[in-house]
Structure 1
Amino acid sequence: MIRHISILGCGWLGLPLGQALAAEGYLVKGSSTRAERLAEIEAAGVSPFLVEAGEKVEGPDLGRFFETDLLFINIPPGGRRSPDVEEAYPRKIMAVMEWAARYEVQQVVFTSSTGVYGNEQRVLNEADGLAPSSASGRALQVIEQYLQLRRQPQVTVLRLAGLVGGSRKPGRFLAGRRDVPNGEAPVNLVHLEDCIGLVSALIRKEAFGEIFNVVADEHPTRAAFYTAQAEKEGLEPPTFIAGATPSWKIISNARSKERLGYEYLHPDPMSF
């Protein structure tokens, strides 16, 4: 029975997730690397902690933070802003897992990305092989493999698609750009409310120790989606290179729906 939940990283997803889980009756702790954000975390009904994860995990009250039934690890790799991401990120998560093991945390939920899949011009599911093309994707692949080899704590991996909702306004991403490639490629996106809803369903079902893709049902083209979103925001829509052969993949969410009984609140990105 999960009662206590600690969320490492109360940012775009972690803070509203913590607020939603607290409203469901869980006792939620949440961390930030910035002291000025602790009051915001507390106002959301979440007990605030200052935690810095790097080569070492540091903070004034780490023992109490890691005394939990479930640890939700929500620290992104950092991508281009972190040139040594392929080495530094796995070491960071390994350091976190050592604390989790020390305090005998029973369940860990780790947020990965559908960026671990390659562009194979087909529908991909959790059983398919990984072929990330970016440094951050390769870092996630390394740490996923490490986590799956651990016997304790038990780890659940959520491969999140492109994140939309809340402060992430996709109409701004490509607004005004010219000759954007891959306009006919399908998009793989997920709304913030579905990230939260699926995590809640996962905990209720206690479907731990598995891998789930978290992505909307529908996959409109890149050109259709970003044009519509720019117009929705009153911005100049992008233009796309005509006739280019797209490099693409479609990520299936069938397993998350079947195993968790979850129906996506925002199944079509064109309605985001």
Structure 2
Amino acid sequence: MRKKTISVLGCGWLGLPLAQELVQLGYQVKGSTTTPAKMDVLREKGIEPFLLSFPENSPKTDLVDFLASEVLVFNLPPSRSSSEAASYEQMLQSVLEALPPSLTSLLFISSTSVYPDVNREVTESDALARPDAASLMLRCEYLIQQARPQATVVRFGGLMGGTRHPGKFLAGKKEVPQPDAPVNMIHLSDCVGILVSILELEKWGVTFNACAPQHPSRKEFYTRAAEQLGLEPPVFAAQGTLNYKRISPALLSEELHYTFRYPDPLACLSSPDF
């Protein structure tokens, strides 16, 4: 039985290892990049490469050919600049408008930043996708869900692994706030494993939180992470009013029967993957 063709929009830190894993599993994979030099890299890994950039810098025929698949993994993170929020939504809308009928399933990479600090554990129902949401990502989740009934959203926690070592994030900084707040982290290998599980099990029409089930404190985690790299540890301020959220991955574990490779971010820091 022929495996589906999957288009991965954005073959960067997460998209490239995901696309590689899907190729290994026998899927036909199309991958996009904004860098001409990366075209050969994708091709060498068995990924059909597409040079796509937004807005309107790519020939429409290229986008149409790229989207000629059964599944789209939308993995383009928005800029941190709030001024570019409108252009990100517009770009997402232009991609969704170009979807062919043959593309029935969407997998959208979102973020746990959609949750405010409510000083408790949060689940997926604590932030609902709406067209009028204050959060850019919640508005984009809504667009995705309206485009296809078979749309699944994955809200990732803080990303670590590969070129992202958390020891660099706060090293040497002073008066860092919220030392006792829990961290919500996830390793690259678990990011890929979760996305592959969703695709293999065809878990569509769901929103999942995705972060490690254990939540050490910011002080403990970032101090050890900096020390792991031989960098100056951050100096934390005294704890004032505690502001935090503890992301629950319980739904993901239940629905996908997924076992985290790195359930403890602290233990992960001393693993061979770093």
**TM-score strictly above 0.5:** yes
Structure 1 residue identity aligned to 2:208: F
Tell me the CA shift for residue 24 of structure 1.
Answer: 0.9
C-alpha separation in 1, matches of 2:178 and 2:262: 24
Partner of 1:242: 238
* 1:227–1:32 distance in 2 versus 1, CA, 3 Å: same
Structure 2 match to 1:146: 143
Q: Where do 5+ consecutive residues of structure 2 fail to align? A: 269-274
- For 1:209 and 1:57, the matched residues in 2 are separated by 30
Aligned partner of 1:239: which letter? V
Q: Is 2:158 the counterpart of 1:162? A: yes
Amino acid at match of 2:181: A
Query: Matched residues in 2 for 1:234 and 1:95: separation?
Result: 45
Query: In the alignment, what sits opposite 2:87?
Result: 88
SS class of match (2:205): coil
Amino acid at match of 1:61: D
Contact 2:110 2:154 in 1 (8 A): yes
| TM-score (norm: length of structure 1) | 0.91
Change (3 A) 1:2 1:91: farther
| Contact 2:177/2:239 (<8 A) preserved | no
Find the counterpart in structure 2 of residue 10 from structure 1.
11
- 1:157 is paired with a residue whose SS is strand
**3-state SS of paired residue (1:78):** coil
| Local SS of the residue matching 2:197 | helix
For these two proteins, the number of residue pairs brought into alignment is 263
**Which residue is 1:134 aligned to?**
none
State whether residues 3 and 28 of structure 2, in contact with CA within 8 Å, keep that contact through their aligned partners in structure 1. no
Match of 2:103 in 1: 105
- Measured after TM superposition, the shift of residue 62 of structure 1 is 2.5
Judge conservation of contact 1:56–1:95 (CA < 8 Å) in 2: no
For the 8 Å contact 1:50–1:59, the answer to whether it is kept is no
Q: Matched residues in 2 for 1:43 and 1:162: separation? A: 30
Given residue 226 of structure 2, which amino acid in structure 1 is its aligned partner?
A
Amino acid at match of 1:128: D
For 1:208 and 1:129, the matched residues in 2 are separated by 19
Matched residue, 1:40: 41
Kindly provide the amino acid, as one letter, of the partner of residue 205 in structure 1.
L
- State the distance in 1 between where 2:59 and 2:176 align: 42
Report if aligned partners of 2:181, 2:218 keep a CA contact under 8 Å in 1.
yes
Unmatched 5+ residue regions in structure 1? Answer: 132-136
How high is the sequence identity, in percent, across the aligned residues?
41
Aligned to 2:271: none
TM-score norm. by structure 2 comes to: 0.91
